[in-house]
Structure 1
Amino acid sequence: MKKFDALRVRKTILDMAFAGSTVHIGCAFSIVELLAVLYRNHLRFDRNDPHSASRDYMVLSKGHGVMAQYACLHEIGWLPDDEIAHYFGNGTRLKGLADAHVPGVEVTAGSLGHGLSVGVGLALGAKMNKTDQMCYALVGDGELNEGAIWEAALFAAQFKLDNLVVIVDVNGYQAMGTTDEVMSLGDIEAKFAAFDFDAVTIDGHDEAAIDSAYESLKARKNGRPKALVAKTIKGKGVSFMEHDNIWHYTRLNPQTYQAAVAELGAKA
């Protein structure tokens, strides 16, 4: 198994986006470190069996960021090179939104706001089965506009799901603008705390801080669900994509692909 190097994960995302002439690069880049550290150090899974009954759950409610998860599944070996090279092609199972038919993807997501509810159900099931399985559910900050997110949060607190970690990708943008322009979210950590979550805010690209936060949150068996509020940069890793929301829907051409790959190569 490879070691989930963030630069390599970003390179795989670029390769997929270019091969499939598809979008959502910026919002995949913002969650790379969050997923890489999770898969590398914290998420329990059987390398030989993606469907192992004892696995921890990784729910990507922010389904349009799925290239980042696919890149991690490629690191594990669950997605071969050939599938990555034919991303979004005719007949492929790798589509532009999270699809539960793909090994390692727990939830079909893309209709925002619903993945967290499934994650809450998985966490409750683990509690009822008296296992020590964790459920990590990654949501976008724009996704917090959806009322279903807060219904799920109420449910998680009611049933004391301290085996649930909600990871909030706070990159400050959603499809049509900044979150402040569309619907200001205020203090996200305080909002989750008001729903009786243990909540912390970190730099979502600082791998040491991410690692420490995961370790601390999953150790708190106190009857309270967890929220990891991660401040991130949309397009992180390629200078001309960072903080530029045009890369939510812009496709790579040969020139921008080569420029982005060159930047990543220069940092390696």
Structure 2
Amino acid sequence: MSIKQLKMKAIDIRCELLQMIHRAKAGHTGGSLSNTDVLTALYYRVMKLDPQNPKWDERDRFIASKGHAVESLWCILADKGFFPKEELSTFSQFGTRLIGHPNNKVPGIEMNTGALGHGLSISVGMALAAKRDHKGYRVFCLMGDGEQAEGSVWEAAMAGAHYKLDNLTAIIDRNKLQISGSTEDVMGLEPLEEKWAAFGWQVVSINGNEMAEVVAALEAAPTVKGKPTLIMANTTKGKGISFAENVAHWHHHVPSDEELALALAELAASKQALLSEKED
């Protein structure tokens, strides 16, 4: 997909996830909206995948360590054909496969995640296995910024650099908000880029809601041979919905009927504006 097509797809995914959360009366809205652009770039342009053969040995692997923000991922997997789109209507309902965190009973999900701090360790193991088995696939791991307070993240960071895993790309959805407020108030993280660099990673900082920057960073990885890449995706929580942006309350706020209508109208206007732009 072109950059313009990816931007339009990201708007569609945001519309879908908002409707899904509203219907289910449950979900993590703000973080799913902030990570949508990264996931759209990964699944529609960057990663090698085959929805008809989800266990294809040469596929790239994706681990959503930020497992609670799964809504955007469910919508993308359904749109890509990993499972029927109609199943989205069962999200968070009794007996569904589409629970509030990644569930590996669903095609396209590599690993159950949700307990923060575990995804990068899993990703390091997968990347190391690829190296030792002489496989060409890459591993991508999306983390939250609140998750950076977990000690296991830094153990995995140390291991990734030690084993020179240049087939591993970690992305931090740096929206600076977590469930109880600002990350810097809850547990100060800065200087976060310098910390990752000190652990031996090549660090790339981008606007994680600007599709051209997201694609360029993901396609350029690995940026240094023999080093894993950390993409600091500076994002906006609640991205795309003016009244939800940078509002901690929207971490798992379920939009009301009125809020949903307003949000969908804003997204429709954004898509209309995009249609009038020249192709990138």
TM-score above 0.5 = yes
Matching residue's letter, 1:177? G
Matching residue's letter, 2:177? Y
Equivalent-residue separation in structure 1 for 2:224 and 2:161 (angstroms): 13
- What pairs with 1:58-73 in structure 2 (closer than 5 Å)? 58-73=62-77
Aligned to 2:198: 194
Which of 12, 16, 19 aligns to 2:20? It is 16
Equivalent-residue separation in structure 2 for 1:254 and 1:215 (angstroms): 39
Deviation string 1:68-108 (CA, Å, 9 cap, x unpaired) is 11111122111322111221112210001111221111121
Which of 233, 236, 239 aligns to 2:239? It is 236
Aligned to 2:160: 156
Q: Is the 8 A contact 2:41 2:211 kept in 1?
A: yes
SS of equivalent to 2:221 = helix
Which of 102, 106, 110 aligns to 1:106? It is 110
Per the TM alignment, residue 221 of structure 1 is displaced from its structure 2 partner at its CA by: 5.7
Equivalent-residue separation in structure 1 for 2:76 and 2:150 (angstroms): 27
Deviation string 1:154-207 (CA, Å, 9 cap, x unpaired) is 111111111000001100011111001101111222111101111110000111
- What pairs with 1:1-268 in structure 2 (closer than 5 Å)? 5-218=9-222, 220=223, 222-268=225-271
SS of equivalent to 1:64 = coil
Equivalent-residue separation in structure 2 for 1:56 and 1:9 (angstroms): 21
SS of equivalent to 1:160 = coil
Q: Is the 8 A contact 2:51 2:108 kept in 1?
A: no
Equivalent-residue separation in structure 2 for 1:66 and 1:250 (angstroms): 15
Equivalent-residue separation in structure 2 for 1:79 and 1:259 (angstroms): 29
Equivalent-residue separation in structure 2 for 1:54 and 1:67 (angstroms): 26
Percent sequence identity is 38
SS of equivalent to 2:70 = helix
Judge which range, 192-201 or 243-252, deviates more: 243-252
Deviation string 1:220-256 (CA, Å, 9 cap, x unpaired) is 4611111000100000001111011111122222121
Matching residue's letter, 2:129? G
Matching residue's letter, 2:50? D
SS of equivalent to 1:31 = helix
Runs of 4+ deviating beyond 3 Å: none
Q: Is the 8 A contact 1:23 1:247 kept in 2?
A: no
Per the TM alignment, residue 117 of structure 1 is displaced from its structure 2 partner at its CA by: 0.6
Structure 2 unpaired stretches of 5+: 272-280
Q: Is the 8 A contact 1:162 1:223 kept in 2?
A: yes
Q: Is the 8 A contact 1:63 1:112 kept in 2?
A: yes
CA RMSD after TM alignment: 1.3
SS of equivalent to 1:30 = helix
Q: Is the 8 A contact 1:99 1:108 kept in 2?
A: yes
